[in-house]
């Protein structure tokens, strides 16, 4: 959350792929879980009192992280900054303090766990082959890695909240929730859709298309083990994007009973 976020891009860059996957897929959700499970039930008056301040910082965080993603040259840093923006977006849904925002936030955190982990795996696979993460050094990878391109495209669509993916359901419900709270904030938050499309498509087209660079060696497609990992991360994004009510039935109802 802005301005306490600056450690995250550096942590992702320095961590190995599995560290980034654990951080993005699991550890970043602990804050959201703590807010839902402890902050709201134990400090309801304090939550309501500080909500305007928190929403202000979250809105700044969404715009700042999105613009910050556009200027990165390290692919892993691009994914890390986009994670900051999406997590700010998810927390914004929580502090809408209504059912739509809460449900949308949970959907978005689940979706982000799969999509962001998938993108970090993609970056790790590129680094294993080419020993660089500099965006401008890539190009034309789709010519020699078609299966890799397919999964990269799925995770890119999910990351930008394309309809048919779980991220879209979460982002839409968060907007429905926050517009009931503050119209100005909802309009500013909705601009993240534009920025997400911009940096996601820049990343994908730069790496996958254009002229294939002779300097890119080790251009073999995904291995069987990598294929298993990518399928396990991509399938829930599409399946739950089409049948999103499964999360509502299985998880959300249970959570409301517990709370």
Q: Quick one: what percent of the chain has pLDDT higher than 90?
A: 26
Partners of 145 in the beta sheet? none
Residue 2 lies in a domain: no
Give the DSSP letter of residue 88. H
* Residue range 44-69: mean pLDDT, rounded: 90
Residue 121 lies in a domain: yes
- Res. 103: pLDDT tops 60: yes
Centroid of chain to Cα 5 = 15
List pLDDT tens digits, range 185-214. 888 888 888 888 888 888 898 888 877 665
- Res. 233: pLDDT tops 90: yes
The Cα 80–Cα 34 span in angstroms is 22
Q: Check: CB of residue 93 under 8 Å from CB of residue 182.
A: no
Question: In Å, what is the CA distance from 7 to each residue of 1, 4, 135, 146, 167?
Answer: 11, 8, 22, 35, 25
Q: Which sign does the torsion angle of CA 43, 259, 176, 159 carry?
A: positive
Partners of 134 in the beta sheet? 74
- Round the average pLDDT of the chain to a whole number and report it: 86
Residues whose CB falls within 8 Å of the CB of residue 71, separated by 6 or more in sequence, listed in order: none
Provide the domain limits for residue 204: 7-258
Q: Check: CB of residue 89 under 8 Å from CB of residue 66.
A: no
Beta strands, E only, 66-185: none
Residue 1 lies in a domain: no
pTM equals 0.89
* Residue range 207-222: mean pLDDT, rounded: 72
What pLDDT is recorded for position 114? 93
Find the radius of gyration of the CA atoms of the chain.
Answer: 18
What pLDDT is recorded for position 90? 87
List pLDDT tens digits, range 80-91. 888 888 889 889
Residue 188 lies in a domain: yes
Number of domains in the chain: 1
């Amino acid at each position: 959350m802005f301005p306490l976020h600056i450690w995250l891009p550096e942590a992702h860059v320095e961590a190995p792929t599995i560290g980034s996957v654990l951080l993005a897929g699991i550890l970043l959700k602990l804050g959201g879980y703590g807010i839902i499970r402890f902050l709201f039930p134990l400090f309801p008056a304090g939550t309501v009192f500080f909500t305007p301040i928190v929403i202000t910082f979250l809105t700044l965080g969404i715009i700042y992280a999105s613009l910050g993603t556009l200027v990165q040259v390290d692919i892993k840093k691009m994914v890390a900054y986009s994670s900051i923006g999406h997590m700010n977006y998810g927390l914004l849904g929580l502090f809408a303090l209504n059912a739509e925002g809460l449900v949308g936030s949970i959907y978005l955190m689940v979706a982000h766990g799969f999509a962001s982990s998938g993108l970090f795996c993609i970056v790790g696979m590129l680094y294993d082959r080419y020993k660089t993460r500099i965006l401008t050094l890539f190009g034309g990878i789709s010519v020699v890695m078609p299966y890799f391109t397919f999964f990269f495209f799925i995770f890119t669509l999910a990351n930008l909240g394309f309809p048919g993916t779980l991220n879209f359901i979460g982002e839409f419900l968060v907007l429905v929730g926050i517009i009931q709270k503050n119209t100005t904030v909802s309009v500013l938050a909705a601009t993240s859709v534009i920025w997400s499309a911009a940096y996601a498509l820049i990343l994908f087209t730069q790496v996958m298309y254009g002229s294939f660079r002779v300097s890119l060696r080790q251009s073999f497609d995904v291995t069987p083990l990598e294929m298993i990992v990518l399928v396990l991360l991509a399938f829930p994004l599409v399946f739950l994007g089409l049948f999103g009510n499964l999360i509502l039935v299985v998880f959300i109802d249970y959570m409301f009973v517990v709370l």
